[in-house]
């Protein structure tokens, strides 16, 4: 039976005004398992009106009470962790084990972090000689538009809506129409824990219709978006015409630099995990590996061996490590890069096409094998464009300077990884890399207090910690002048 999802507006599920729905495909099987609203400007306007009506009361609610409500939301989500993990796996094609241990726990952590962060924030005051006191106020902006992608649906949706709600804004959220399921279920949790109606509204639909209407709406002063660079550029231009506050977390083509002094037994499995987690559909994936030429041959041999042992299969199977890509269109896009590798005579050491065998249930699913390439030119599209799939290039380097030049030689600058035992070299290379976050001897080790975002075409603005709290608040200076006179 095909389930019909709805929008969540003013605390209840509502159908789209047009009555139109889109199919929601299960990537592992290629079959439709749900329908999602194909919302448009009318639905967005309805949601914005609900959010505007709820804003005065929510913005004036004491921080301790907003914190309590967000913690209740986190608790409600945690009580249904298994249900959400299975829904996320079914909707995205990712292994159930990954959804259970990363996606849903991280969403819970996001709500809890920002629920408590607002109880410990501070502002500034400046005594101007003995003549005045300047106080900085940080006030909620109003209705925040939060647009999230398909690769980590609930994880990144919560990453945006949690700080927006915590700081006293109301929200109209637009999840990806490709992976709408857990956002819909989150609406159910909001209802179950008696979250105030209108504070969080969730409108499903396509980017060019629902997403564009949210960005263009005159009563939405702040937009946060995670997605592709081309879409982000268009969104940013549209928002700029209305002087909206914008945060854009865009693409990544992230380098991992492996120096010759490392322990390959430790580094290789982590490099494989960084490359192929979530089938490489991760803005933080380490998809460009640069390896010291002294250990290049041994590293490549071990990397291929470890990647070749990844268990590709049904995402619902507990033993699966590598699932399906999110859609047929995206699978075909990634497959086109494999064709490009053959045209350019790159050496395909692993993969390059669909898996040799799959369970019967998954025969029509959107699967591609982990793919490892060497011999790719620095100017190749394989090296410069975000494939956003399980395709990795490995390239040798002779010096740290050459490695940095290769790493920085593209338009993206989201994340990077350095593997070395030399701490001095790690400091120097990290400072030289053009990336918003640099991991040294680890990958995806996150502290939610730290800023997150990219340089160059990887976006503008930062999320996380105080950066997020500041983005969702308007800064106001209040100057209080003292009367002149003596102390009495």
Tokens standing for residue 63: 């921080």
Residue 478 is inside which H or E element, if any? strand 473-481
182 C-beta neighbours (distance < 10 Å), count: 28
Give the span between the Cα atoms of 225 and 375, in whole angstroms. Answer: 35
Residue with tokens 């004036």: 60
Greatest Cα-to-Cα distance within the chain, rounded to the nearest angstrom = 89
Q: Which of 146, 190, 283, 362 is catalytic?
A: 283
Query: Taking Cα atoms as reference points, which of 118, 91, 94, 100 lies closest to residue 3?
Result: 91
Q: In degrees to the nearest 10, what's the CA dihedral of 312, 313, 315, 319?
A: -80
249 is catalytic: yes
Residues ≥6 apart with Cβ < 8 Å to 140: 55, 59, 167, 168, 169, 472, 473, 474
Helices (H), 167-263: 181-192, 212-216, 229-240
Strand 254-258 relative to strand 245-249, pairing: unpaired
Q: Which of 249, 386, 434, 463 is catalytic?
A: 249
188 is catalytic: no
Give the span between the Cα atoms of 285 and 282, in whole angstroms. Answer: 5
Catalytically annotated residues:
249, 283
């Amino acid at each position: 039976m095909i389930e019909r999802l709805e929008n969540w507006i003013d605390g209840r599920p509502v159908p789209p005004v047009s009555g139109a729905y889109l199919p929601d495909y299960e990537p592992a099987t290629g079959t439709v398992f749900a329908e999602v609203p194909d919302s448009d400007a009318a639905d967005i306007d309805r949601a914005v009106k609900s959010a505007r009506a709820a804003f005065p009361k929510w913005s004036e609610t004491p921080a301790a009470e907003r914190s309590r409500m967000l913690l209740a939301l986190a608790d409600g989500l945690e009580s249904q962790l298994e249900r959400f993990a299975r829904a996320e796996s079914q909707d995205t094609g990712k292994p159930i084990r990954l959804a259970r241990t990363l996606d849903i726990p991280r969403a819970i952590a996001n709500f809890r972090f920002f629920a408590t962060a607002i109880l410990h924030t501070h502002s500034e005051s400046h005594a101007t000689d003995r003549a005045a006191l300047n106080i900085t106020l940080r006030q909620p902006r109003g209705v925040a538009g939060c647009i999230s992608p398909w690769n980590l649906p609930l994880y990144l949706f919560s990453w945006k809506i949690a700080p927006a709600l915590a700081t006293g804004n109301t929200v109209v959220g637009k999840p990806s129409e490709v992976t709408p399921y857990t956002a819909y279920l989150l609406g159910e949790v909001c209802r179950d824990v008696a979250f105030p109606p209108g504070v969080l509204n969730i409108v499903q639909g396509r980017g060019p219709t629902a997403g564009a209407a949210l960005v263009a709406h005159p009563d939405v002063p702040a937009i946060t978006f995670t997605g592709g660079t081309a879409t982000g550029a268009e969104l940013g231009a549209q928002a700029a015409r209305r002087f909206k506050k914008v945060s854009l977390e865009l693409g990544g083509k992230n380098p991992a630099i492996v120096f010759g002094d490392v322990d390959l037994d430790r580094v290789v499995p982590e490099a494989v995990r960084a490359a192929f987690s979530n089938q490489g559909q991760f803005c933080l994936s380490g998809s460009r590996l640069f390896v010291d030429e002294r250990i290049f041959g041994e590293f490549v041999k071990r990397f291929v061996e470890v990647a070749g042992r990844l268990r590709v299969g049904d995402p619902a199977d507990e033993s699966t490590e590598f699932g399906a890509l999110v859609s047929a269109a995206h699978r075909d896009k990634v497959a086109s890069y494999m064709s490009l590798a053959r045209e350019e005579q790159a050496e395909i050491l692993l993969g390059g096409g669909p898996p040799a065998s799959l369970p019967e249930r998954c025969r029509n699913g959107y699967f591609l094998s982990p793919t490892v390439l060497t011999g790719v030119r620095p100017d190749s599209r394989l090296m410069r464009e975000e494939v956003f799939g399980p395709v990795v290039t490995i390239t040798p380097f002779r010096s740290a300077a050459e490695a940095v030049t290769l790493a920085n030689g593209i338009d993206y600058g989201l994340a990077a990884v350095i593997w070395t035992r030399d701490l001095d070299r790690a400091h120097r290379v990290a400072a030289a890399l053009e990336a918003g976050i640099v991991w040294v001897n680890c990958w995806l080790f996150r502290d939610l207090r730290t800023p997150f975002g990219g340089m160059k075409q990887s976006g503008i603005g930062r999320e996380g910690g105080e950066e997020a709290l500041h983005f969702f608040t308007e800064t106001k200076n209040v100057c209080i002048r003292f009367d002149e006179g003596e102390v009495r």
